[in-house]
Amino acid sequence: MLEYFKTLSKMYNVSLENILSIALNRYGILMDDIEDNRIRFNLKLNNSKKETFFAVCVNTYEDSKFVLKDNILYLENNPIGTVDNIEKDTCTSTYFRNNKKAITFNSNSRSKCVGCKFCGTYSLTDDDSIDFSTKDKIINFYQELLEENKIESMNKVEDVTICTGCFETEDDLVKHLLTVKEAFNEMNFNGRLNYIGSQLRDYDKIKMLSKEIGDFGIYLTIEKFLDREKFMRKEKASLTLDKAKEFLNYCSSIGITTTFLYILGLEDLDTIKKYFNYLKDSINKFPIIQVFQDYTKEQENYRCEQGKDIEYYLKARKIIEDIFKDTNLNPKLWECFRSLYYDENKEKVKCKKMII
């Protein structure tokens, strides 16, 4: 398999380390004597100077060729890197990205949200049952968080992204976003407040939020283009792609930072090409593309036939790069823990035409 990855590396002009990182997310790892089905760790691949954070599934895909033993990661029998800070991956209420300049805020217990077939957060241990219903509760929590992490003030934080479980109603969500903003205002937060989800629909409410929040981002969870109703909670699936495009157009037109999230591995390359093209001009930020992981053994059944092979992910990357090559939109490495991009020098996408 290592030889195959080396060949792909030459064919697609993507570093071997980047391909190994994609493969690790796609296949997960095998480990003995462990009950957890998901762990997180820092990995330093051989020939790489940097350590990268991973959260991967364990023993959920039996044919994985990645084995972790005594802190060494093997691909088949080849040692390919060293691992440290191994811990069980739980569903936490906050975590940092980008050298603690960005925070992901799971403020409404994602671990209790169920209904999307590709989602795995509800199979994780819930470390996110914290009450964030009032301004004071949010402030108290964040004061402790900053202290524990030796961060002087919220004005050192550039992005807070709310990525959480569904709310009862859209109004509850709107109220929550305003409460968070109010709390952060008191803490001198000057960065961007982003919402990941698809529960905001009403244009008047969005306009009001944009005015109140100022620097506001909406990252729409499209996740999958076809058969959405078979895969997702009905609140999410009720957003058709035509409506999603109209929604993204509207958000972009009033100055909101606008993009969408997509789970890569569930549908074929023609579908990816068609719909990334369809949505390209409606966003002002590069899409966040997540490699589909098997939180459970059964989830491998949702992976499309092409998605079983690593070359699919590299082809998809080229297709998407080609689509965005005439824009100034680029992926951010720190934004996604299971993305297609791991090399610093690839953050600025260098697009090459590729015949698929």
Residue ranges that bind ligand SF4, judged by CB under 6 A: 110, 113-116, 119, 121, 165-166, 233, 236
Q: How far is the CB of 196 from ligand SF4 (least distance, A)?
A: 9
CA 29, 34, 38, 42 torsion: positive or negative?
Answer: negative
Q: What gap in Å lies between CA 75 and CA 77, rounded to an integer?
A: 6
The helix or strand, by DSSP H or E, that contains position 140, with its residue range, turns out to be helix 135-148
Rank residues 236 and 346 by Cβ distance to ligand SF4 and give the closer one: 236
- Name the region of 181 (left: φ>0; alpha: ψ -120 to 50; beta: rest): alpha
Rank residues 236 and 318 by Cβ distance to ligand SF4 and give the closer one: 236
Q: How far is the CB of 162 from ligand SF4 (least distance, A)?
A: 12
Q: How far is the CB of 121 from ligand SF4 (least distance, A)?
A: 5
CA 242, 247, 250, 253 torsion: positive or negative?
Answer: negative
Q: How many CB atoms lie within 10 A of CB 340?
A: 24
Rank residues 48 and 259 by Cβ distance to ligand SF4 and give the closer one: 259
Rank residues 104 and 252 by Cβ distance to ligand SF4 and give the closer one: 104
Rank residues 123 and 210 by Cβ distance to ligand SF4 and give the closer one: 123
Rank residues 286 and 292 by Cβ distance to ligand SF4 and give the closer one: 292
Rg, C-alpha atoms of the chain:
20
Q: How far is the CB of 117 from ligand SF4 (least distance, A)?
A: 9
Compute, in degrees rounded to 10, the torsion defined by CA atoms 344, 336, 286, 23.
70
Q: How far is the CB of 247 from ligand SF4 (least distance, A)?
A: 17
DSSP state of 113: -
User: In one letter, which amino acid is 101?
Assistant: K
**Sequence-distant (≥ 6) Cβ neighbours of residue 28 within 8 angstroms:** 56, 57, 58, 59, 60, 61, 64, 66, 293, 294
Q: How far is the CB of 174 from ligand SF4 (least distance, A)?
A: 17
Rank residues 104 and 284 by Cβ distance to ligand SF4 and give the closer one: 104
102-105/94-97 β-pairing = antiparallel
Q: How far is the CB of 154 from ligand SF4 (least distance, A)?
A: 26
